[in-house]
Structure 1
Amino acid sequence: MIERNIAKAISELMLVYPVIALTGPRQSGKTTLLKSMFKDYRYISLENPDNRFFAEQDPNGFLELYNQKVIFDEVQRVPSLFSYIQTLVDESKTMGQFILSGSQNFSLMKNITQSLAGRVALFKLFPFDFEELNSHNLLTPDYSSMLVRGCYPALYDRPMPTTPFYANYIETYVERDLSELLNIKDIRLFRTFLKLCAGRIGQQLNLTNLANETGISIPTVKSWLSILESSYITYQLPPFFNNFNKRLVKSTKLYFYDTGLACYLLGIKSEKSIQESEFKGALFENMVINEYIKQNYHHGLYREFYYWRDSNGHEVDLLVSNETTYDVVEIKATKTILPKLFDGLDLLKNIGKETINRKILVYGGTESQNRSNYKIWAWNSIKIDF
C-alpha cells in the first residue's frame, strides 16, 4: 500500500484536537488511509442505511455505543450528529476522540463551522501526489501518460482502463452529489456543462460566455460551479493584485483537481492524443498546479496560490506564498528550454522586486537545473520547500 504524506500531519494534530475531519474527492483514498492509520478505532459508515437510521432516530443511543475512538465516514449524511459530538468532546476533553470523514465538502463544512469550530483539525486528502507515486516507481518518465491516467488510487491498485473508471466516476459520484444538492432535471445538459468547463482549463472564467454556450442562466452557472467545487471536481485560482500593479485582471482561472477526469471529458484517451491536442499546454499547466496544491495540503503547509496577469496580457502561471515572499512559477509543456520561457518571470521580478523569492520554470523535460537567476524543474521533480 502506498503511504500517504498527509498521515504525519494528521498524527501530530490529533494529539491536540478532540476531532479530526478529513475531506477530499470521492475515491481519493480517505477510508483506506484512516483504517490503516487507526486500527484501534471502530469504523462506522453512515452510507450504510442501518447505521444512518440508528444515528438519525436515536443519536444519544448511537453515541453511547460509539462514544470514543470512532471513525464516522460520510458523516455529513447525519447533520444532527454534529451538535451531539460537540457536547461529548466538550465534556470529555479527550484528544483524538472522533475522526470524521466526508466527500461532500459543502455539507461537511457547513456542519463543522456551525457546531465544531475550534474543536476540529481539518485536512484534505487528494489523489496521489508525485512523491507518493514515485515512492512505488509509479511515476512515468513522460508526462503524457500521467495526464491521461490521472492520480486516483483505484487506477494504481489494480489494472484498470481509464475510460470506464472516469465514466463510472461521473455517473456514480458527481451526478449523485449533484442530485442531492440541486434539483437538476436534465443531466445531459449538466454533462455538456462539465465538458465545456474542461475546455476552459487554464482560462479566465467568463460566466456569461459559459452560460450562453450551455444554454443556462448565470445564476445556474454559479450554482453548478459551486457544486463542482464542493465535490472536488474543479477549483478556481484567484488572481494576485496586491501591490504589483494597479492594472491587474480580477477574473479567476478554472482548473480540474484531476487531469485524468478532464481528459476523459475532452475525449482524450491516449498519450498520442495528448501530443496532438490543442489542450496539451493547458492540461500540463493544470497538472503542475495540482501538484503544488496536493503537496500543500498533504504536508499541512498552509500556502496560498495565485496567478498574475496585467491588462496588457503579461502573465505568470502561478505565485506561491511563503510568509512575506513569493515563488513565481512559469509552466511550459515543452521539453526544450528556450530563453523566451523566462520572459514572464523576469517581468514579474522587476515589478515585484524584494517580494519575489525564487523564479521557477517547470517544463515538460526530465532534467532539472539550478541557474544563477532561475530554478528549472523537470515536471516530475516539483517540491514545495517545507
Structure 2
Amino acid sequence: MKQIKRELEGELRKAAGMYPVVSVVGPRQSGKTTLVRAVFAEKAYVSLENPDIRAYAVEDPRGFLAEHKEGAILDEVQRVPDLLSYLQEMVDTDRRAGRFVLTGSQHFLMMRDVSQSLAGRTAILSLLPLSLGEIQEDSGLENLDGVIQRGFYPRLHEQQLDPYPVLRDYFQTYVERDVRSLLRVHDLQTFETFVRLCAGRVGQLLNLTSLANDAGISPTTARDWIGLLETSFILFRLMPYHANISKRLIKSPKLYFHDVGLAAFLCGIEEARHLKNHPLRGNLFENMVIADLLKQRFNRGRDNRLCFFRDSTGNEVDLLYPLGPDFLPVEIKAGQTVSQDWLRGLKTFRKVRTDKGPPGLIVYGGKQGQRRTGGTVIPLGMMVQEIRELEENR
C-alpha cells in the first residue's frame, strides 16, 4: 500500500516549531493519524478511542499525562474533553515547542474546548480528505465521473478499493458512532433521510423550511442537524458575499459536502457510469471544485474565506476565492463545450465589486484552456497551478 504525501505536512512541521501543542482536526479517515504518526514518529502514540485508555484518562487525568511528560500524540482527544484543562497546566510549566500533538474528528466541540483550555498554546490545523493535487500524480483526472464517484478519502486511493461499499460502511459507522455521541437523535432512519436530502441539495441555496418539510422534521431540528453535520466534517456552508453596495444580494448560504464521493453515494450513485446523465452531475462537479479550493487554503494554514456571489435577479458567481484583500471570481461548469453565457455572472460581479481584483476564472470539464475577454477558461487539472500563480503575483 502506497501512502500519499500530504500537503499539510509543511504547515504541521512549522506549527510544531512554534507552539507547545499542535491540534489537527478533520473528518474521520481523512488521514490525520497517519500524517501525525509519520511526521512525529518519535512520539508516543495514544488512542483515546481505546476504552481502557479513555477510562484511565477520564478517571485519573494527571496520572495519565504524567506518563507522557516528554509529550505524545493524543488521538481523538475530543473523547476526553476535560483532559485539555490538565494539559494546560502541563504546558504552562514546560513550554517546549511541539511537545503534544492532538487530533480530533469533531470540529466545533474541539474548538470550544481548545479555546477554553489551550488559547495561545496551540496551533489548529484542518486536514480534509485528499486534494486534487495529492491524487493527480497517482490517479490522474482523465475520468472525471470516476473521480467524483470515488471521492477523496485516502484509504480508497491508497488501497484502490471499490468506493461504494467503503462509503456505505463509512456513513453507517458515522451514524452509529458520531451521531449517537454528539446529539440525541432518536430516529436514525429520519436522520439518514435528512442527510440524503442534503446531498441532493449540494450547490443550492439552503432553505431550512423546505428541507425540514421534506424530511418530516421541524426547522429547529433541521438547523440542529445541519450544525451536527458541520461539527463532524460531513458538510459545510458556503456563505454569500457581502459588500457595501446598493444592489440587493442573497443572504442564504449554500450546502456542500467535504467529500464529493460521499455526496454521490448519498445521491444513490453506485457506479461512475451512473453520473453520465445524472441531473446532479454539474452540482457534484461544482462541489468537488469548491471543496478542493477549501483544502488548498487549509493545507497552507489559512482560514476559510471562500464565499459566493448572487444577486436578487439570479446573477451568480459560483465561488469567490480570496487573493489577499481581493477576490478571484470562479465559475464552475461540468460541461466540455465553452459557452459565452458562462461569462455572464463574471461580468455582473465586475460591475458591483468594491475591490479592483483579478479577472474571472472558469473551471470546466473540458481539456483545453482558453483566454477569453472577461475570463480565463481552464480544465480542472490546471486549476491549482493557475490559482497558485495568481496568489504569488498578488
Show the counterpart of 2:281. 280
- How far is the alpha carbon of 1:173 from its aligned partner? 1.9
Deviates more, 1:25-34 or 1:183-192: 183-192
Normalised to the residue count of structure 2, the TM-score between the two structures is 0.95
Is the CA contact (8 Å cut-off) linking 1:40 and 1:69 kept in structure 2?
no
- How far is the alpha carbon of 1:361 from its aligned partner? 0.4
- How far is the alpha carbon of 1:296 from its aligned partner? 0.7
Question: What pairs up with 1:176-215 in 2 under 5 angstroms?
Answer: 176-215=177-216
Unaligned runs of 5+ in 2: none
Cα distance between partner residues in 2 of 1:369 and 1:140 = 19
User: Number of residues paired by the alignment?
Assistant: 385
1:242 aligns with 2:243: yes
- How far is the alpha carbon of 1:106 from its aligned partner? 2.8
Runs of 4+ aligned residues of structure 1 deviating over 6 Å after TM superposition are none
1:239 maps to amino acid: P
Deviates more, 1:210-219 or 1:354-363: 354-363
Cα distance between partner residues in 1 of 2:107 and 2:306 = 20
Instruction: Describe the superposition over 1:57-111 as per-residue Cα deviations: whole angstroms up to 9, x where unpaired.
Output: 1111111111223100011111121011111111111111110001111321121
1:146 maps to amino acid: V
* Structure 2 counterpart SS, 1:242: coil
Normalised to the residue count of structure 1, the TM-score between the two structures is 0.96
* Structure 1 counterpart SS, 2:130: coil
Cα distance between partner residues in 2 of 1:327 and 1:303 = 14
Is the CA contact (8 Å cut-off) linking 1:291 and 1:382 kept in structure 2?
no
Show the counterpart of 2:66. 64
Show the counterpart of 2:94. 92
* Structure 2 counterpart SS, 1:213: helix
- How far is the alpha carbon of 1:353 from its aligned partner? 6.2
2:305 maps to amino acid: E
Is the CA contact (8 Å cut-off) linking 1:239 and 1:306 kept in structure 2?
yes
Instruction: Describe the superposition over 1:318-338 as per-residue Cα deviations: whole angstroms up to 9, x where unpaired.
Output: 001222211000111111112
Is the CA contact (8 Å cut-off) linking 1:241 and 1:248 kept in structure 2?
yes
Deviates more, 1:323-332 or 1:240-249: 240-249
- How far is the alpha carbon of 1:381 from its aligned partner? 2.0
1:15 aligns with 2:17: yes
Cα distance between partner residues in 2 of 1:351 and 1:2 = 42
Is the CA contact (8 Å cut-off) linking 1:7 and 1:37 kept in structure 2?
yes
Is the CA contact (8 Å cut-off) linking 2:240 and 2:307 kept in structure 1?
yes
Question: What pairs up with 1:57-206 in 2 under 5 angstroms?
Answer: 57-135=59-137, 137-206=138-207
* Structure 2 counterpart SS, 1:127: coil
Cα distance between partner residues in 2 of 1:255 and 1:245 = 28
1:96 maps to amino acid: G
Unaligned runs of 5+ in 1: none
Aligned residues with identical type, % of pairs: 41
Deviates more, 1:123-132 or 1:347-356: 347-356
Deviates more, 1:299-308 or 1:78-87: 299-308
Cα distance between partner residues in 2 of 1:175 and 1:214 = 19
Is the CA contact (8 Å cut-off) linking 2:315 and 2:344 kept in structure 1?
no
Alignment root-mean-square deviation, CA: 1.4
- How far is the alpha carbon of 1:354 from its aligned partner? 4.2
Cα distance between partner residues in 2 of 1:83 and 1:51 = 18
Cα distance between partner residues in 1 of 2:312 and 2:113 = 41
Cα distance between partner residues in 2 of 1:322 and 1:245 = 24
1:296 aligns with 2:297: yes
Counterpart of 1:46 (choices 48, 55, 66) is 48
